[in-house]
Structure 1
Amino acid sequence: MGRVTSLDDLPLRDDLRGLTPYGAPQAPLPVALNVNENTHPVPEAVVSDILDDVALALSDVNRYPDREFTGLREAFAGYLGHELAPEQIWAGNGSNEVLQHILQAFAGPGRTVFGFGPTYSMYPLLTRGTGATWVAGTREDDYTITAEDAAAQVAAADPDVVLLCTPNNPTGTPLGLDVVEAVYEAARGIVVVDEAYQEFAPKDAASALTLLAGRPRLAISRTMSKAFAFAGARVGYLAADPAFIDALRLVRLPYHLSALTQAAATAALRSADVMLAMVDEIVEQRDRISATLEALGYTPHPSWSNFVLFGGVEKPQELWQALYDRGVLIRDVGIPNHLRVSAGTEAETTAFLDALASIGSAS
């Protein structure tokens, strides 16, 4: 029997040939600030509550979980507010799976998905993985988008699905609600607002959740990975019209959310005030990073997220490697003369800034 040695030896889908999988570097360095994790551990009191609920779920783990994850949907509706009902909530194993469900239901072969680049690197991968075609729009030089320009680009592209990331990854740029409204009016298909980093925005910043009423083609996606420090638990969710939720049921796998996941997430949501207490510290470290980067001659972009994209990097790969050699892992996101760093704990942030200063200023 011959041994398969490469993808070329397999009957892979033609539209997947030549693609590369998601590949954020993983390295056992002391300070990892490259994938926008919340580096703060879950508070011990919350860990104890989660363990109690998971233990209870384990006693019945021989049975399939609640396919409709009823209790978790009620908890998400309560957390989000805006008079949302549980039937307007969907959840999955991370927001990537939630987005995949949307594309499986509304995109697919012969259809197009549109987003304003640069934006979240998983959007094109999810699009191509579901057989659809990715179409990239453009932003201003400072990564902002006006409502007029956004609507014009969407109207010209005429996509089946529009993905709007706000605050945007990897730039941290917020998107005005007027842009969301304009895009919705210009689009004939689905519009998804990805608010994965919304908890790090200014407290008075309005969420696109305020736009849901009367817009059945609109969905607002969130995650527990960032503000809730739940990246390893893999829990994402969205709010939309109940009919939109019905569409996602057509493509989800049976019992896709385990009983243990449901129990852990529900327990964490009960302690939302404790879990979110760390957000203020992360924002403080983010702003500290921006101020120090500027003092060192770099160009940090305004950020409403838990990370900072900074320009003025003459040789990004060399700077990335120099930081790596000093035990600090950040991210090269492929934007010329830019790198991105997540805001960590005070100690991690200090380690990054000290390492950067030891290398020398941008000028």
Structure 2
Amino acid sequence: MKRTPLYEAHLRHGGRMVEFAGFALPLQYTSIREEHLAVRRGAGLFDVSHMGEFLVQGPEALPFLQWATVNDVAKLRVGRAQYSMLPNPQGGVVDDIYLYRLGEDAYLMVVNAANMAKDLAHLRHLAQGFRVELTDLSQDTALLALQGPKAAALLQGLTEADLASRRKNEVFEARVAGRPARLARTGYTGEDGFELFLAPEDAEPVFEALLEAGATPAGLGARDTLRLEAGFPLYGHELTEETNPLCTPWAWVVKREKDFLGKEAMLAQACRERLVGLVLETGIPREGYRVLSGEREVGRVTSGGFSPLLEKGIALAYVAEDAQEPLSVEIRGKAVRASLSPLPFVPLK
């Protein structure tokens, strides 16, 4: 397994290491519930150095990215970021990404760890004919995510940058604990917070400084329960090469007024199923569990787990467009009543 620059630090702090996307990462340090609630009520710190980072630059970076992504890159000003997706020719999703505009003709794209090689090959193929240069910065970049309602106040004690003036989806350079960093007011938990792009050798000193300042180390387990409560997708579950994003709650990211790869195929597909949120009366739903309407199977759970805030099982599931309530989820042969829920599952600031 690959190791992030924080591998030894995770061991020192009691991280229970597991394999994820080819990397050794902490599943948890104490308990998933404790780390989850630390993020919702205070500030949690994640090592997300396994994510991929690509620099896209050149005089035709903008038209290239307009073609390669579904969101409107032309609206992205320097110092701003946006959530987006890489479409395929069939109207499905190669990956979901975050795009940061660093300069007039320079953009940083963050992609999912499991898709790095696939995404880079896809982008390089699309780049043929554009005056654009793609550089894989993944090996040279460490990435931390400080998330929670107290994240800004905690981080402010370690930087001279005025964090209060920085809005959501803003990206800027600053020094943190004396180390150069690129900060972005973004994250994957539904809470306020910052992601810190660092040189690999600076990751451990900044990680330790944030912990000393009061952040709680958090692992993959809490990261997943937090994103599920927030109603965020996980690639390979809610989004795939066969998924039409227009049939999901994230259809807003697809800007139909511009051209992009696979647009005609995407728009031509009828939505025979829709992605919904479910809250269960009892039990914990898991990926692949059947969703029922009476005796009829109408869908499958794509992500499921226990919500520490609701103290109930919650799930994201694709269900047939004509599915009627009441619905249930089959758990070990028993149909458990499930109620449709708006997303996010819990109130977020």
Per the normalisation by structure 1, the TM-score is: 0.30
Pick the structure with more helix per residue: 1
Higher relative contact order (CA 8 A, sep 6+): 1
Q: Which has the higher strand share?
A: 2
TM-score normalized with structure 2 length: 0.31
